[in-house]
Amino acid sequence: MNRIPTLVTRHPFISLILSLLFVAPFLAHLPHVQTVDNVDYFTLEDDPDVAFYDSIKATFGEDEFFVVAFTHPDLFTPPFLTLIVALTDQLGSIPEVREVQSLANVDFIHGEQDYFEVRPFLERIPEDPVELETLRRQALETPLYVGNLISEDGRTTAIAVFPQLSDTGDGSFRKRILEHTTVILEEHRDLVDEFHLAGWTVTNFSLSRYMKADVAVFIPVTYLFITLTIWLVFRNLRLTLLALANISVCTGATMGMFSVLGITLNNVTTIVPPLVMALALGDTVHIFSNLKTNVLRRSPDPARALESVLAKVIMPCFLTSLTTAVGFFSLSVSHVPPIKEFAYVAAAGMVFKFIFSFLLLPPLLLLCKPESIYFGQDRERRFGPALRRLVNAVQGYPRSISMIVALLVVGSVWAGSTIQVETNLLEYFKYSSPIRQSLDFVETRLSGVGTVDVSLKSQDKEAFLSPENLGVIENIQHFAETLPHVDKTMSFVDFLKDMNKAFHDEDAMFHVIPYSRELVAQYLLLYDSDDIDDFVTMEYDHARILIRISEHGSSGQAVFIDALRKFIDMMDRQGLEIRVTGRAVQDVNIIDDLVWGQIHSLAIAAAVISLIMFLALRSVRIGALSLIPNIFPLVINFGIMGALGIPLNTSTALISVVALGIAVDDTIHFLTEYNRRRADRMSIPDALREATLEKGAALCATSMILVIGFGVLLFSNFVPTISFGGLSAVVMVTALVGDLVVLPAIMLAFHRGRAEDGMGVRV
């Protein structure tokens, strides 16, 4: 490791060419980086629940849909009914749309004295007001429609569109379908001011679209702020340009790594570019801040001067890159692919930043005139007085500071205990976003677009012809409907009840399960299989209940699913094998996995980083001390999350590990300097003072840069990314406080305590 500065400064051109050769293949992959048009990747790997859900979808058809809804007080008039028919037809002719369901084509099962019919509900559009009113009444009296296709007040209607999912896993069909849909809806603006689109297709696409917008903002804004920061810190054009060149190469190589590993930019991995830029700049700042004129004067030539600068920082930079990479890589234990991918590319980015900071940057520095990049003590002048005041305060009141820190920690632990584990897909979007407004519109007037499925299986063929087994389905539906946020349940039983009622002159008394197996079988002879195929197999040995919920929070969904499972466990199941599944179940499972993954990753990262610290600092005591300034920001972070009600979700779950990996960098730089002073037999207070004055400026600058790097995420369209950015920025500040204030204060407090006890143990 220590030979690298010598080799690089003696053979700058070889080093430059080597680094360019190294980066070239990655940069060549840069144009192939792909963003995705969907968020299908948010699923657990090798999970039995996922497999079961997939099998249910294979049996009963894909459950993805979106609705196009609109409101008008005169819905049941010829112009609007004609519009429903036209839209149904037009939406149905969009390529990749499997099916469209609306009042125009939904089956209407109807019986009277001597006849029976199943026909499309809107087969004919009447002109006569009496007939129109009859139509309205019939729609509102059909339970299969209300909440699905028509609101209870008869003013809002929905057209459900079911996309044809591709087998290739290509999610971009959503984009094409939604674009077509927009064009079609535009034609009808004269009649309807606003159409509201909601459902997984829309949510999925919006997530990906906002994500792309994020990438488009993150990188340029990060560049802008980083340039400004470097300029403010060093006031040197050449250094600013060199820093930009270095971080561009690092970021470029990391982005190239995306396509080398076949990883796409998704809403977790979009965080990587600004993060790598900020972190890459860290090493650069540590090198730059040691380019002092006195070093240049002491050295025979610029190459030697640079060699001594690099020799001074390479070990801490290596350690910081390593610990950060470990922190990132620990996330690879996750079973959620995007988090795993984040782990890989972010860790790779750390390797790149170290390599380029010591292989590419030095030759570039040697190309510059030394007098233009080495500087005197003027930077000292800018940061010096402030740092001196800080040191005096810390050395003056170590116990008071320790007490305040202890109180803060206790308060944070208390507040942190109230953190909700929750991913609310709806709250991913800002309240003002059109998607959230539309979802709100649809869910308040019709039904929630979240789905839970209950699968009921029997060993016997035709089991679901028996009224007893149908009763099991009905009981589960009845129970589910008593739970909050359940808007609608649907099953095979609903169709049979509708048939039974139609065969009994539409007498509502007969909206019940047919009394005998024979009657069920005979009704089924009459009924077209298309619609019920979604709810029961042709063999009638496997049925499904669809439950539409308007609960978007995973914790609320978990409560609902638990209640449903408990009820099913306790009920008379008639020997049926019953299992709760559906998209919401998958979401809840992912959240569970995230939380456990978070704990798992944190444990691994903490253990490995501690080990590295012990080895690097070559002292158990110092190693243990190094944990203090790193645990402090994490505890404060959880305290803030608890106090502000920010939930632990897919993004905020990353913070602890990411923050630990980065916060530890400051500690390494600080304690390395401290150790060096102690080795010179300096007293503890003096060593702490000197370490703070020597490293303080660089630590402040890198922290500031990281605050900016994370701060850029505040420009995101996603609430979780905003939380992630904001919280991580705060962590960077608290980590700095941890190193420059908390750590020295605690060390001094203990030191004094022991000195007063007369033990005088050296720390």
Partner 1 sequence: MINRVIVATFLLYFTLPVITWSTDQTVPSGREVAQLVHDRDLGQDSQSQVLMELISAGGQRRLRELTVLAKADGPIRKTIMRFTSPADINGTGFLSIEDGQGGTEQFLFLPALNRTRRIATTQKGRSFVNTDFTYEDMERRPVDDFEYLIAGVANLSGVETWILESRPKPETQSQYGLVRLWIAQDLSVPLKIDYFDDRDQHIKQYRVLQLENIQGIWTETKVIMEDLLSGHSTTLETRDIRYNLGLSDNLFTQQNLENW
- CA–CA gap between residue 329 and residue 658 (Å, rounded): 10
Nearest CB to partner 1, comparing residues 392 and 516: 516
| Residue number with CB closer to partner 1 (482 or 529) | 529
Q: Which residues contact 467 (CB under 8 A, 6 or more apart)?
A: 513, 514, 515, 516, 517, 520
End-to-end distance of the chain based on CA atoms, in angstroms?
A: 28
Interface residue with partner 1 among 95, 115, 193, 459 (CB under 8 A) is 115
Q: Should residue 52 be labelled a site residue for partner 1 when binding is judged by CB under 8 A? A: no
User: Which CB, 127 or 530, lies closer to partner 1?
Assistant: 530
Binding of partner 1 by 329 (CB under 8 A): no
**For 613, how many CA atoms within 13 A lie in the half-sphere containing its CB?**
30
Site residue total, partner 1 (CB under 8 A): 30
As given in the structure block, the two tokens for residue 632 are: 């402090």
Any contact of residue 519 with partner 1 (CB under 8 A)? yes
Toward partner 1, which CB reaches closer, 260 or 521?
Answer: 521
Site for partner 1 in 432-491 (CB under 8 A): 462, 465
Choose which of 2, 3, 13, 114 interacts with partner 1 (CB under 8 A). 114
CA distance 281 to 277: 6
Q: In one letter, which amino acid is 310?
A: L
Q: Which of 21, 509, 525, 759 lies at the binding interface for partner 1 (CB under 8 A)?
A: 525
Task: By CB under 8 A, tell whether 55 contacts partner 1.
Answer: no
DSSP SS3 for 486:
strand
Helices 467-482 and 554-570 meet at what angle, rounded to 10? Answer: 140
Closest to partner 1 by CB, 454 or 502: 502
Interface residue with partner 1, options 153, 371, 481, 528 (CB under 8 A):
528
Stretches 366-374, 516-524, 646-654, 669-677: which one binds partner 1 (CB under 8 A)?
Answer: 516-524
Q: Mask of contacts with partner 1, 116-135, x by CB under 8 A?
A: xxxx---x------------
Residue with the two structure tokens 């922190």: 327
Neighbour count for residue 376 (Cβ, 10 Å): 10
Residue 107: strand pairing partners: 120
Tell the smallest beta-carbon distance from residue 80 to partner 1 (Å).
Answer: 22
39, 155, 176, 200, 467 from 205: Cα distances, Å = 8, 28, 10, 8, 42
Q: Which is nearer to partner 1, 501 or 695 (CB)?
A: 501
Determine, following the binding rule CB under 8 A, whether residue 526 of this chain makes contact with partner 1: yes
> Shortest Cβ distance from residue 144 to partner 1 (Å)?
17
Q: Mark the segment that binds partner 1 (CB under 8 A) among 527-535, 572-580, 639-647, 688-696.
A: 527-535
Q: What single-letter amino acid sits at 629?
A: P
Please state, in angstroms and as integers, the Cα–Cα distance from residue 39 to each residue in 211, 336, 387, 729, following that order.
Answer: 10, 12, 47, 26
Return the residue matching tokens 């609960």: 551
Structure tokens at 102: 């609306």
Q: Where are the alpha helices (DSSP H) in 115-171?
A: 129-140
- DSSP E strands, 344-431: none
Strand bridging mode 450-457 / 97-101: unpaired
- Number of other residues whose CB lies within 10 A of the CB of residue 671: 25
Work out the angle between the directed axes of helices 652-679 and 719-737 (0-180°, nearest 10). 20
Return the number of the residue (117 or 301) whose C-beta is nearest partner 1.
117
Q: Is residue 166 part of the contact set for partner 1 (CB under 8 A)? A: no
Q: Record the tokens describing residue 410, joined without a space.
A: 């206790």
The nearer residue to partner 1, 432 or 529, going by C-beta atoms, is 529
- Residue holding tokens 């190094």? 626
Q: Closest by alpha carbon to 657, among 675, 637, 684?
A: 637
State the nearest-atom distance from the C-beta of 115 to partner 1, in Å. 4
Decide if 197 contacts 438 (C-beta within 8 A).
yes
Single out the segment in contact with partner 1 by CB under 8 A; choices: 250-258, 488-496, 525-533, 576-584. Answer: 525-533
Per DSSP, the three-state class of 457 is strand
- CB nearer to partner 1: give 47 or 533: 533
Q: Please identify, using beta-carbon distances, which residue of 509 and 759 lies nearer to partner 1.
A: 509
Q: How far is the CB of 116 from partner 1 (least distance, A)?
A: 4
Largest CA distance in the chain: 111
Binding segment (CB under 8 A) for partner 1, from list 201-209, 298-306, 523-531, 702-710: 523-531
CB 359 within 8 A of CB 19: yes
- Among the listed ranges 189-197, 207-215, 511-519, 653-661, the one in contact with partner 1 (CB under 8 A) is 511-519
Spatial CA neighbour of 315 closest among 279, 276, 354, 280: 354
Stretch that binds partner 1, among 41-49, 114-122, 369-377, 668-676 (CB under 8 A): 114-122
Q: Minimum distance between the CB of residue 529 and partner 1, rounded to whole angstroms?
A: 5
Phi first, then psi, for residue 410 (nearest 5°) are -60, -45
Applying CB under 8 A, does 111 fall inside the site for partner 1?
Answer: yes
Part in contact with partner 1 (CB under 8 A); list of ranges 71-79, 524-532, 555-563, 664-672: 524-532
- Closer to partner 1 at the Cβ: 458 or 554? 458
| Binding-site member from 2, 168, 529, 681 for partner 1 (CB under 8 A) | 529
Q: How far is the CB of 527 from partner 1 (least distance, A)?
A: 8
User: Please, what is the minimum distance in Å from the beta carbon of residue 87 to partner 1?
Assistant: 17
And the tokens for 276?
A: 């790598």
Examine residue 509 and tell whether it contacts partner 1 (CB under 8 A): no
**3-class secondary structure, 304:** helix
By CB under 8 A, residue 536 contacts partner 1: no
Pick from 216, 538, 603, 611: which binds partner 1 (CB under 8 A)?
A: 538
Structure tokens at 397: 């009141």
Q: Please say which residue, 109 or 568, places its beta carbon nearer to partner 1.
A: 109
Which stretch in 40-48, 202-210, 362-370, 522-530 sits in contact with partner 1 by CB under 8 A? 522-530
In the complex, what is the shortest distance from the CB of residue 522 to partner 1, in angstroms, rounded to a whole number? Answer: 4
CB 396 within 8 A of CB 348: no
527 binds partner 1 (CB under 8 A): yes
Question: Quick check: 650 and 268 in contact, CB under 8 A?
Answer: yes
Report if residue 96 touches partner 1, rule: CB under 8 A: no
679 binding partner 1? (CB under 8 A): no
If binding is defined by CB under 8 A, does position 516 make contact with partner 1? Answer: yes
Q: Return all residues near 175 (Cβ < 8 A) that are at least 6 apart.
A: 37, 205, 208
List Cβ neighbours of 29 (8 Å cut-off, separation of 6 or more): 256, 257, 258, 259, 260
> At its nearest, how many Å lie between partner 1 and the CB of residue 518?
4
Q: Which is nearer to partner 1, 518 or 562 (CB)?
A: 518
User: Does the footprint of partner 1 cover residue 518 (CB under 8 A)?
Assistant: yes
Nearer Cβ to partner 1, position 194 or 507?
Answer: 507
In the complex with partner 1, the residue whose CB is nearer, 248 or 522, is 522
| Nearest approach, Cβ of residue 104 and partner 1 (Å) | 14
CA 479 from chain center: how many Å? 33
Say if residues 446 and 69 touch (Cβ distance below 8 Å). Answer: yes
Per CB under 8 A, residues contacting partner 1 are 93, 111, 114-119, 123, 462, 465, 503, 514, 516-530, 538-539
